[in-house]
Amino acid sequence: MISIPMARPIITEDEIRAVEEVLKSGMLAQGRVVEQFEEAFAEYIGARSAVSVCNGTIALCAALKSLGIKQGDEVITTPFTFIATANSILHQGARPLFADVDERTFNINPDDVLEKVTSRTKAILGVHLFGHPFDVQSIREICKDHNLHLIEDCAQAHGAKYSGKRVGCSGVGCFSFYPTKNMTTGEGGMITTSSDEIAEACRLLRNHGDSGKYFHTSLGFNYRMTNIQAAIGVEQLRKLDGFNEKRIKNAEYLNKHLMKAEGLITPYKDERVEHVYHQYVLKVEDDFPMSRDILMNRLQEKGVGCAIHYPLPIFKQPLYQQLGYDDAGCPVASELANKVLSLPVHPALTEDDLRYIVEVVGDMA
Ligand SMILES: *Cc1c(COP(=O)(O)O)cnc(C)c1O
C-alpha cells in the first residue's frame, strides 16, 4: 500500500548529535546556541538582527506589537493565508482589512491594497504564500507613500528571493519553524529586522521586559526559544538551500508532466522571484473531468497525500463572520478557495514517489 505524505521533515544524525550536545551541556533553555542560531539566520536573510521566539504566530504578534499596532488601528492583509496571519492582528486589538489576491501568484494584490487604505491604516502585513514572494516592490512603494509599516509573513518562504534579495529583509520578517515548513525546529519562530529599536522591543517582549538581571522596564511575556530547538535550527539552516533546491526540482518535474493536462493549471512563477515551493498548488478548473473535491478523494484513496490550502478565505471563517466580516470585496480569494489543490513537493520525496503522483493524477485527467 503506497502512502505519500504531504510533508515530512528531514532529520538526520546531525540534528540528533546537536541536540544531544545541548542536553549534555545542561543549558537547556535560551542561551548561547539560541544566539548562534540568531546570528546565522540574520546573516542568511541579509538583515541586521534576528530575534528568535517560540513559534511563528508569536513572531507576528511581537512584530506588530513592537511597531506600536494597537486598538483602533487597521492593518491590511490577505484573506488567502493560514489564519495565524490575520489573528495576529486581532490579538493587538486592531482590525484586519482584507485586500484581494492576484489570481496567478495567489498573493496580495497591490492595486486592491491601495483601494483599502484609510486614515486608520498603520501597516501592511503581506504573506509570501506557498514560497512565492509577493510583489515587494509595489507594496514597499505603497508603504512609503502612505507612511505605513511593512511586515512580511515569511512562514512559508525561508530562502525565497525577490529581485535577488531574500524575503524578510525588506520589512519586519516573521518566520515559523513548524515541522511542515521549509526548515524546522519542532516549534519555533524568528523575527528579522534591520532596525535596532524593533529588535530590542521584540527581545524585551520575549523576556518579561527584562533589560538587565531582574530589572523589568516594560510589560513582556515568555516567548523564548530553547537551546534544544536552536540546535536543530542551526543544522537545518545549513541544509536549507539544499532542501529548497530539491523542492524546486520536484516542482519542475510535476510541472513538466502535469502542464498539458486539460483543466489543471500548474503553479505560476514571476520572473523576479525565486520560488521555494513550500506548497505545490494546482488550480482545478471547470473543464477538468471531475470536481476538485472528487479528485482530492480519489488521490487520497490511491495514497497520494493532498490538501486544500485554503478551503475558506479568512473572512468566511466562522470567527470572522461572528466579527461581522462580509464576503464582499475579495472575489479572487473566494474563487481560488474552490479551485486549489496542493500535491506533495517536499524534499523527502523519492523519484518513485514523483512518478507515482504523476501517474495517478494523469489517470484522472
Ligand atoms: C505556519 C504559518 C504561521 C504560523 O506559524 P506557527 O509557527 O505555526 O505559529 C503563520 N503564517 C503562515 C502563512 C503560516 O504558514
pLDDT digits (tens, 9 = 90+) for 315-324: 999 999 999 9
Whole-number pLDDT of residue 329: 86
Considering the segment(s) 13-236 as one domain, its CATH architecture is: 3-Layer(aba) Sandwich (3.40)
Asked if residue 231 lies in contact with residue 19, where contact means CB atoms within 8 angstroms, the answer is yes
Whole-number pLDDT of residue 159: 98
Whole-number pLDDT of residue 213: 84
Residue 154, C-alpha cell as written in the block: 515569511
C-alpha–C-alpha distance, residues 280 and 129, integer Å: 11
Nearest atom in ligand 1 to the alpha carbon of residue 58 is 9
Asked if residue 99 lies in contact with residue 78, where contact means CB atoms within 8 angstroms, the answer is yes
Whole-number pLDDT of residue 212: 84
Q: How far is the CA of 208 from the centre of ligand 1 (A)?
A: 23
The pTM (predicted TM-score) of the whole model is 0.98
Q: How far is the CA of 25 from the centre of ligand 1 (A)?
A: 31
The mean pLDDT value of the chain amounts to 97
Whole-number pLDDT of residue 314: 98
Nearest atom in ligand 1 to the alpha carbon of residue 84 is 10
Q: Whose CA is nearest to atom 10 of ligand 1?
A: 84
User: Which residue bears the cell 528531514?
Assistant: 10
Whole-number pLDDT of residue 9: 98
Whole-number pLDDT of residue 2: 87
Whole-number pLDDT of residue 202: 98
Nearest atom in ligand 1 to the alpha carbon of residue 81 is 13
Query: Where are the alpha helices (H) located in the chain, listed in sequence order?
Result: 13-25, 32-45, 56-66, 84-90, 110-116, 136-146, 196-206, 227-258, 292-301, 318-322, 331-339, 351-364
**Which of the residues in the chain have pLDDT under 70?**
none
Pocket test for ligand 1, best of 176, 180, 190, 281 (most atoms within 8 A of CB): 176
Asked if residue 5 lies in contact with residue 305, where contact means CB atoms within 8 angstroms, the answer is yes
Question: Which regions of the chain carry the CATH code 3.40.640.10?
Answer: 13-236
Nearest atom in ligand 1 to the alpha carbon of residue 85 is 11
Query: Where are the alpha helices (H) located in 192-327, listed in sequence order?
Result: 196-206, 227-258, 292-301, 318-322
Q: Domain 240-364 belongs to what topology?
A: Aspartate Aminotransferase, domain 1 (3.90.1150)
**Beta-carbon count within 10 A of 3 CB:** 9
C-alpha–C-alpha distance, residues 105 and 95, integer Å: 25
Q: How far is the CA of 260 from the centre of ligand 1 (A)?
A: 33
- Residues lining ligand 1, judged by CB closer than 6 Å? 55-57, 81-82, 84-85, 127, 153, 155-156, 176, 178, 189
Q: How far is the CA of 365 from the centre of ligand 1 (A)?
A: 33
Asked if residue 89 lies in contact with residue 125, where contact means CB atoms within 8 angstroms, the answer is yes
User: Any idea what DSSP says for residue 197?
Assistant: H
Question: Which regions of the chain carry the CATH code 3.90.1150.10?
Answer: 240-364
Whole-number pLDDT of residue 347: 98
Q: How far is the CA of 183 from the centre of ligand 1 (A)?
A: 12
Q: How far is the CA of 175 from the centre of ligand 1 (A)?
A: 8
Nearest atom in ligand 1 to the alpha carbon of residue 60 is 10
Pocket test for ligand 1, best of 52, 127, 175, 178 (most atoms within 8 A of CB): 178
SS3 of 290, please?
coil
